[in-house]
Amino acid sequence: MSGPVAGGVEAAPTPASGDAPAPEPALQVEALGFAYADAPVLEAVSLSVPRGRFAALVGANGAGKTTLFSIVTGLFAAGDGRVRIAGHDLATRPRDALTELGVVFQKPTLDNDLSVRQNLAYFADLHGLPRRTARERIDAALAQHGVADVQARKAGALSGGQRRRVELARSLLHRPSLLLMDEPTVGLDIASRAGFVEHVRELVSGRQVGVLWATHLADEIRDEDLVHVLDRGRLLASGTLGELLEAHAVRDVVALTAALR
């Protein structure tokens, strides 16, 4: 993103002659539309998330964030438009696209009857990882996300913060290019929330993963973060938070959304 773009998506930069082509964005959404029955939920939404960037999808409850995520994860079929994950079209190459996708859903999705390790092994199997590779990656993920000591515990016995960390570890096991996080800090206490956000930010820079983080909490976004403002199913603006605040002479995301309406 070179600058704030109201209601649209920036054009992909054209590589100079002789340069290596720019990698495909982790996520490219073009003119996406969706309706429940006759009620439009998303209208011509276009946005992108480059690799290695932390992008926030902000909007109040009812803005369409979860519906957008449901489409990008392949759960809902888009009415109009196109979704590409790491360059793979979700409609024509769903398998390649979903291989590049990791998700932390809004509601906890760990299986409470299984242990942490069994939950991760199940997910590794879903992605077809060979058993040995899966074992190595699970060991590494448990250590990296600070949940190695609870690996034998049933998921139902974990704290909210631990659950989220395990879900994050799970979503990255297959090494995706894009990580979708749908209001992942809901239900966490302040200390756990801050720690979790920081942990994800470290992953972004360390792994070159593009993160799309849906939230309506202003304090989870920094000035340098890419921000997509969604309101009642329409994308109002895209750009870094600092640029958008400056351009609209407001102090926070809430005021920004109000100013953009």
Q: Which residues bind to other proteins, rule: CB under 8 A?
A: 36-41, 59-67, 70, 73-76, 94-96, 98-99, 101, 103, 105, 107-111, 113-114, 118, 121-131, 232-233
Confirm if 209 and 178 have CB atoms less than 8 A apart: yes
Q: Give the nearer residue to other proteins in terms of CB position, either 95 or 251.
A: 95
Q: Give the nearer residue to other proteins in terms of CB position, either 30 or 111.
A: 111
Rounded CA-CA distance 114/120 in Å is 10
Rounded CA-CA distance 97/81 in Å is 16
Rounded CA-CA distance 201/195 in Å is 10
**Cβ neighbours of residue 193 under 8 Å, at least 6 residues apart?**
185, 220
Least spacing, CB of residue 102 vs other proteins, in Å = 9
Q: Give the nearer residue to other proteins in terms of CB position, either 20 or 39.
A: 39
Least spacing, CB of residue 17 vs other proteins, in Å = 29
Least spacing, CB of residue 229 vs other proteins, in Å = 14
Least spacing, CB of residue 7 vs other proteins, in Å = 17
- Which residues lie across from 28 on neighbouring strands? 48, 84
Q: How many CA atoms lie within 13 A of 171 on its CB side?
A: 27
Least spacing, CB of residue 28 vs other proteins, in Å = 18
Rounded CA-CA distance 240/250 in Å is 14
Q: Give the nearer residue to other proteins in terms of CB position, either 207 or 232.
A: 232
Q: Give the nearer residue to other proteins in terms of CB position, either 74 or 195.
A: 74
